[in-house]
Amino acid sequence: MGDIQVKKQPKQYDAIIVGSGAGGGMAAYVLAHAGLKVCLIEAGPMFDPKTDSNQLKNPWESPRRGASTKYRPFGDFDGCYWGWEIDGEPYTHVGDTKWEWWRARMLGGRTNHWGRISLRFGPKDFKRKSIDGLGDDWPIGYDDMKPYYDKIDKMLGVFGTNEGLPNDPDGFFLPPPKPRLHELFIKKAATGIGIPVIPARLSILTKQINQERGQCFFCAQCGRSCKVYGDFSASSCLVIPALKTGNIDLVTNAMAREVLTNKEGLATGVSYVNKEDMQEYQVFGRTVVLGASACESARLLMNSKSPQHPNGLANSSDIVGKYLHDSTGADMGGIIPELFDRKRYNEDGVGGMHVYTPWWLDNKKLDFPRGYHIEYGGGFGQPSYGFNWGIEKMQEMFKIKGQQKEPGGYGSTLKEDFRYFFGSHVGMAGRGEAIARKDSYCEIDPEVVDKYGIPVLRFNTSYTSYEINQAKHMKETFKEILHAMGATVTWGGDDGPHNNYGLHAPGNIIHEAGTVRMGNDPKTSPLNKYSQAHDCKNVFCVDGGPFVSQADKNITWTILALSMRTSEYIVDEMKKRNI
Amino acid sequence: MDRRKSIKALLIGGVSASVIIEACNTDEKKAEVPKAADAALPYTLNRTKEEQAYERELLSKIFFTPHEMATITILGDIIIPKDEISGSASDAKVPDFIEFIVKDMPEHQTPMRGGLRWLDMQCLTRFEKAFTDCSHEQQMQIVDDIAYPVTKDAKGNITSKRKIKPGYEQGIAFFSLIRNLTASGFYTTEMGGKDVGYIGNVPNQWNGVPADVLKQYNMAYTEKELKECVSFDKV
């Protein structure tokens, strides 16, 4: 490209939204339906689950039989483009930081493949500092958020049950699916030792809610995205419907470079590089809404330096990038010998667990703050790459039809063993709340750029004994439950102090949040309580960035509720001519 | 002649001792002969542009020599033979899967190539023939020496009570790898899925665990569950 030039788009938009996932997609939906003219910038290609999903493909349709690649780390059928590594888009670490950064590049972002676990934060989750003195309280509370949770429950659909729990609020739920067999085993065992097990809360349509979206047909493949829009993805449920308003110009394969500002310090638009023609473009609008993901939005702000904003946009507090945190995670699995040689039937169910365990204990009696919930798996899964890998361990541990076999082997006797063990596995995963800390953060690497010349993020994060002790507790709990159900631990049982009790590397759970947090004090928070930049009133952030803390609840439902609230605020402020 | 046909021809014609000489002369680079680039990929999956380029690159290469493929085919059918329920590994085209997967996962290339050569060297020493040229009885003698690994825990401590024949550790590691790959390749085909009894991947209505199964395990849904959960009329 000999002659590089910047192409300025002549159209003046009401809003420029960066990113089309849960946050950006919801903003696009609300703003476009309010009649505003929107330019939606997405770093990846177009994606419509109706035509592009790998749903109902058979294992043999993948030459690698569903194994993962760097292009699809969750397997060949997965509904998310890219993941931990993207060609030409590096990120770096300080010291022994292990941060893993998932980046989706497609319309709808990572919501095309997420677990659909849709949990409201509870009243305590917004006011944790008042309870345990750690981190900060949110500038808003559950009462501010409840109307938005209510609206998205009804608009997007979520199954579950009203249990009247104090910190796991009731909602507007579709009926949940009945537990599978291994889930009945889990429920019986866990409740028997005082650990509650209740119906899961997933944004999957067990009943039809409108004419645009179909009903779940129980293929267990939400991770591939749903052709009938039977589960929530930002592509199928927000952006694609919003495009029908005619108020959105969608620009795909556009990597945002910088938020542009004028002499008054207000945002005027966004510059981006078009990945197709590698040309530089600028689009202009009255407001800029960032939904690029917690870390990408922070990166974009820090890279948007100007005389008016010398430390990056919305960053006079120097807080952008700070307080980065992910859910904690630790897992364990086992075998239920009672389920050997079980009767075959279709137990695919929905794409995820039918039951789960919300946090049930009092931290005053524990050596860590904050809680975790438990997700469950198991049963007859569709065979894929790695099916019964290392069967010799199973043959060593368990008798087969009363007989102790030589582990390993071959032939028709081996084929019998594969049949005998199928469907007897059970797994559990703890997902907990880490403490957001100022000294655990991402920043701009002073030396490294990506292939577009955009300075990249450098991660400098750590865990403390809070998170490690929580992982230890998870592991002890899992062992108790597995023991109570007569299961034998087959993996995850050897973790201990040597490896932080199997605590996943931060970032690995893909719930990163906190990098552009909200707060009432401009000195300690980039955003106000409407996710509006203190330093620049026409810049907003609607992804995981604004979170002050993230509870032990998967953050998507709260991203959606916050984004809807912010988007309605933008419409209102525009009507009042405040922005 | 495409590779699948050439393997078939090798199997029908039997593999002569000259193959072992050919195998001995083949180095890794020579084996990866580029094929003409296919215009369309033979897959039905949704793929990004980057994935398509990657798949094309994989398909343009051949990794295993005909001799190696013949050995893989025999071993695969020893591991998963035809029985009264389903066919064999080669019936399910497992060798083709193994050829693909080592290109996709290069970490398997040296263990597979080296393991196959380890096996041939054992056969040469013991029977003065390549594995493919050995009689079935001779092949099974070697397989029995390498088919039963000791198991280890996460810390690497041996958990098996039994012992393995000294000097066979590498062969055992190789056989475990090819058993794992063969199982992955077989049970992910239509034939293998039916064999193991996976009944799913079809639109249906989940009505809960069948009544006879609940009874078998002495389980029952609670009244709360029956009232709250979605249920469907029997179809």
Cβ–Cβ below 8 Å for B143 and A345 = no
Cβ–Cβ below 8 Å for B209 and A494 = no
B39 pLDDT more than 80: no
What residue type is assigned to position A408 of the chain? G
Compute the nearest-CA separation of B26 from chain A (Å).
Answer: 26
β-bridge pairing A455-460 and A92-93: parallel
Residue B14: the pLDDT is 35
B16 pLDDT more than 50: no
- Under the banding of pLDDT at 50, 70 and 90, the label for residue B23 is very low
Q: CA-to-CA distance for A34 and A32, rounded, in angstroms?
A: 5
Listed in sequence order, the residues at least 6 apart from B208 whose beta carbon sits closer than 8 Å to its beta carbon are: A177, A178, A179, B221, B229, B231
DSSP alpha helix (H) spans, chain B: 3-13, 18-25, 28-31, 49-59, 66-79, 94-104, 109-127, 136-146, 169-187, 190-196, 211-216, 223-228
Residue with token string 């789960």 = A356
Listed in sequence order, the residues at least 6 apart from B146 whose beta carbon sits closer than 8 Å to its beta carbon are: B119, B168, B171, B172, B174, B175
Q: What is the DSSP string of A448-469?
A: EE-TTSPEEEEEE----HHHHH
**H or E segment to which residue A560 belongs:** helix A556-575
Total residue length of chain B: 235
Would you say residue B48 lies in a domain? no
User: Contacts of residue B216 in chain A, CB cutoff 8 Å?
Assistant: 343
- The better pLDDT of the pair A264, B37 is held by A264
Would you say residue B228 lies in a domain? yes
Lateral strand order in the sheet of A455-460: A92-93, A455-460, A441-449
Compute the nearest-CA separation of A64 from chain B (Å).
Answer: 6
B177 pLDDT more than 50: yes
Cβ–Cβ below 8 Å for B203 and A219 = yes
User: Sign of torsion, CA B120 B125 B130 B136?
Assistant: negative
B90 and B67 within one domain: yes
B104 and B218 within one domain: no
β-bridge pairing A425-432 and A372-378: antiparallel
Residue with token string 């040296």 = B110
Q: CA-to-CA distance for A64 and B50, rounded, in angstroms?
A: 16
CB A425 within 8 A of CB A485: no
- CA A148 from centroid of its chain's CA atoms: 19
R_g of chain B computed on alpha carbons: 23
Q: Least CB-CB distance to A60: which of B50, B143, B189?
A: B189
C-alpha closest to that of B206 among A212, A357, A230, A356:
A230
β-bridge pairing A280-290 and A539-541: parallel
CA distances from residue A567 to A332, A337, A544, B76 in whole angstroms, order as listed: 40, 52, 15, 59
Listed in sequence order, the residues at least 6 apart from A2 whose beta carbon sits closer than 8 Å to its beta carbon are: none
Which phi and psi angles does B201 have, rounded to 5°? 60, 35
Cβ–Cβ below 8 Å for B229 and A65 = no
C-alpha closest to that of B226 among A175, A163, A375, A200:
A175
User: Contacts of residue B79 in chain A, CB cutoff 8 Å?
Assistant: 410-411, 414
B133 and B26 within one domain: yes
Cβ–Cβ below 8 Å for A422 and B196 = yes
Q: What is the DSSP string of A219-265?
A: -S-GGG--TT--B--HIIIIIHHHHTTT-EEEE-SEEEEEEEE-TTS
Residue B97: the pLDDT is 98
A contact test, residue of B80, B141, B178, B230 with most A CBs within 10 A: B230
Instruction: Name residue A430's beta-bridge partners.
Output: A330, A374
Nearest 5 degrees, angle CA A284-CA A287-CA A288? 80
Q: CA-to-CA distance for A102 and A82, rounded, in angstroms?
A: 8
The answer, for B62 touching chain A at a CB cutoff of 8 Å, is no
Min mean pLDDT across A431-440, B132-141, B155-164 is at B155-164
Q: CA-to-CA distance for B221 and A176, rounded, in angstroms?
A: 13
- Under the banding of pLDDT at 50, 70 and 90, the label for residue B165 is confident
Instruction: Name residue A159's beta-bridge partners.
Output: A174, A202
Would you say residue B224 lies in a domain? yes
CA-nearest residue to A176 within chain B is B229
DSSP alpha helix (H) spans, A91-218: 128-132, 142-156, 181-192
Q: CA-to-CA distance for A221 and A477, rounded, in angstroms?
A: 28
Q: What would the two tokens of residue A465 be?
A: 């004994």
Residue B184: the pLDDT is 98
* Side-chain-facing half-sphere of A32: CA atoms under 13 Å: 24
B140 and B74 within one domain: yes
Residue B26: the pLDDT is 41
Q: CA-to-CA distance for A381 and A180, rounded, in angstroms?
A: 12
B215 and B125 within one domain: no
B220 and B152 within one domain: no
B209 and B168 within one domain: no
Q: CA-to-CA distance for A336 and A426, rounded, in angstroms?
A: 7
CB A542 within 8 A of CB A23: yes
Query: Based on the structure, what is the number of domains in chain B?
Result: 2
β-bridge pairing A6-18 and A280-290: parallel
CB atoms within 10 A of CB A207: 11
Would you say residue B226 lies in a domain? yes
CA-nearest residue to B203 within chain A is A217
**H or E segment to which residue A288 belongs:** strand A280-290
Angle between helices B169-187 and B136-146 (to 10 degrees): 100
Regions of chain A where pLDDT drops below 50: 1
Task: Give burial (CB, 10 Å; 0-12/13-18/19+) of A138.
Answer: buried
Helix (H, G, I), strand (E, B) or coil at A168: coil
Q: What would the two tokens of residue B165 be?
A: 């024949």
- Under the banding of pLDDT at 50, 70 and 90, the label for residue B6 is very low
Total residue length of chain A: 579
C-alpha closest to that of A336 among A492, A502, A490:
A490
B186 and B91 within one domain: yes
- The better pLDDT of the pair B8, A497 is held by A497
Mean pLDDT, residues B140-145: 97
Residue B43: the pLDDT is 85
Q: CA-to-CA distance for A394 and A539, rounded, in angstroms?
A: 56
Burial A7-40 (b: 16+ CB within 10 A, else e): eebeeebbbbbbbbbbbbbbbbbbbbebebbbbb
Residue with token string 């330096």 = A305
- Under the banding of pLDDT at 50, 70 and 90, the label for residue B48 is very high
B187 and B72 within one domain: yes
Cβ–Cβ below 8 Å for B198 and A388 = no
Compute the nearest-CA separation of A104 from chain B (Å).
Answer: 12
Would you say residue B47 lies in a domain? no
- CA A143 from centroid of its chain's CA atoms: 24
B160 pLDDT more than 90: no
What residue type is assigned to position A295 of the chain? C
B154 and B186 within one domain: yes
Full residue range of the structural domain in which residue B213 is found: 203-235
Listed in sequence order, the residues at least 6 apart from A497 whose beta carbon sits closer than 8 Å to its beta carbon are: none
| Average confidence score pLDDT of chain B | 86
Would you say residue B139 lies in a domain? yes
* Interface predicted TM-score (ipTM): 0.96
The answer, for B192 touching chain A at a CB cutoff of 8 Å, is yes
Task: Give burial (CB, 10 Å; 0-12/13-18/19+) of A313.
Answer: buried
Cβ–Cβ below 8 Å for B101 and A385 = yes
Would you say residue B44 lies in a domain? no
User: Contacts of residue B141 in chain A, CB cutoff 8 Å?
Assistant: none
Would you say residue B46 lies in a domain? no
* Side-chain-facing half-sphere of A378: CA atoms under 13 Å: 31
B108 and B89 within one domain: yes
B15 and B101 within one domain: yes
Nearest 5 degrees, angle CA A263-CA A264-CA A265? 90
Q: CA-to-CA distance for A158 and A206, rounded, in angstroms?
A: 8
The answer, for B89 touching chain A at a CB cutoff of 8 Å, is no
Instruction: Name residue A441's beta-bridge partners.
Output: A460
Mean pLDDT, residues B64-93: 98
**H or E segment to which residue A421 belongs:** helix A412-421
User: Sign of torsion, CA A258 A264 A269 A273?
Assistant: negative
Cβ–Cβ below 8 Å for B176 and A408 = yes
Q: What would the two tokens of residue B66 be?
A: 């005909």
CA-nearest residue to A46 within chain B is B48
For residue range A466-478, what is the model confidence (pLDDT) as tens digits? 999 999 999 999 9
